[in-house]
Copies of this chain bind each other. A is one copy, B any other.
């Protein structure tokens, strides 16, 4: 099977023009006589010529490729973002190189370098926490970076998020208004900025506003999985809590099912409000009340922001906060 690669040179020869002219036609450069353009397009079609993006990338120093670092594509939260990212990337003629990091700093740095070696034009980063090592890599390279659904306290790079503090505050306030005095805060690692700094702050603010006392015994740290939620239920009940604000849907549904298995009625005996309004909140019975985050949009807007950065356009603001809401469904009174 011989290499039958058609190059720009073949097209030029067949069309009796120079490579430059073919290049102009391919790139939509207006400085080509219509007749010439027509002739070239015809040859391109006949020869079934397809420009080699790698050669193009080398010559032009642009790969029209965006690197996307994601903790885990098989997690619904992140895959929803990823879909928004890819759609907007496609809209602007970019492809995405997707790389799973498992949220670990070492792998993140490694993957980042790998993407930079591939000369991506920009990077979308998703992660639970931005470590110093990762931050150092960001500032070392001049490739634009945007964080999607991820918080970095020192806002060096672009980012798109919702106001996690405010959203958590509203959620907890709702539970307080419903008369709950012992409200559990159930989240992933508190060392992650988004949990420890943003959501926990919102939780505390809501308590203060409703004159409720902050109590460490009501704070639960846990991995983000269904089974972890199930496992947590005994401790939650022992704490005396009558309601919980939970930072992840999968975790929340674990708690819900655990309560069900214990014969506790939601929302009558225990109220729950969760954070991501994913499909899981709708398949649960009762359906879970939740903060609504525009996941797809967070991905989409991050990528739009990145395209501006890559084009060196003027940016009004590189930290974008999208609106969020509370949707009351079946797990709150």
* CB of A262, distance to nearest CB on chain B (Å): 13
Is the beta-carbon distance between B83 and A119 smaller than 8 angstroms?
A: no
Question: Is A57 positioned at the interface, with any CB of B under 8 Å from its CB?
Answer: yes
If A1-B142, A83-B72 touch, whether A282 touches B226 (CB-CB below 8 Å) is yes
Interface string of A282-293 (1 = CB under 8 A from B): 111100000000
- Total interface residues on A, using CB and 8 Å? 50
Known: A76-B76, A97-B96. A283 touches B65 (CB 8 A): no
- Knowing A54-B119, A117-B50 touch, does A98 contact B74 (C-beta < 8 A)? no
Complex Cα distance, B65 from A114, in Å, reads: 11
Q: Does A35 reach chain B (CB closer than 8 Å)?
A: no
Could you tell me the distance between the alpha carbons of A51 and B74 in the complex, rounded to whole angstroms?
A: 31
A237 to chain B, nearest CB (A): 19
Assuming the A-B contacts A55-B58, A97-B65, A257-B285, are A86 and B114 also in contact, with contact meaning beta carbons closer than 8 angstroms in the complex?
no
A interface SS class: helix
How far is A87 from B250 in the complex, measured between Cα atoms in Å?
Answer: 23
Residues of B near A283 (CB, < 8 A) are 226, 250, 253-254, 257, 280, 283-284
Q: For window 252-267 of chain A, which residues contact chain B by CB distance below 8 Å?
A: 253-254, 257, 260
Partner of A54, one of B54, B96, B113: B54
How distant is A181 from chain B, measured CB to nearest CB, in Å?
29
A-side interface residues toward B, CB under 8 Å? Answer: 1, 50-55, 57-58, 63, 65, 68, 72-74, 76, 79-80, 82-83, 86-87, 90, 95-100, 113-119, 142, 226, 250, 253-254, 257, 260, 279-280, 282-285, 296
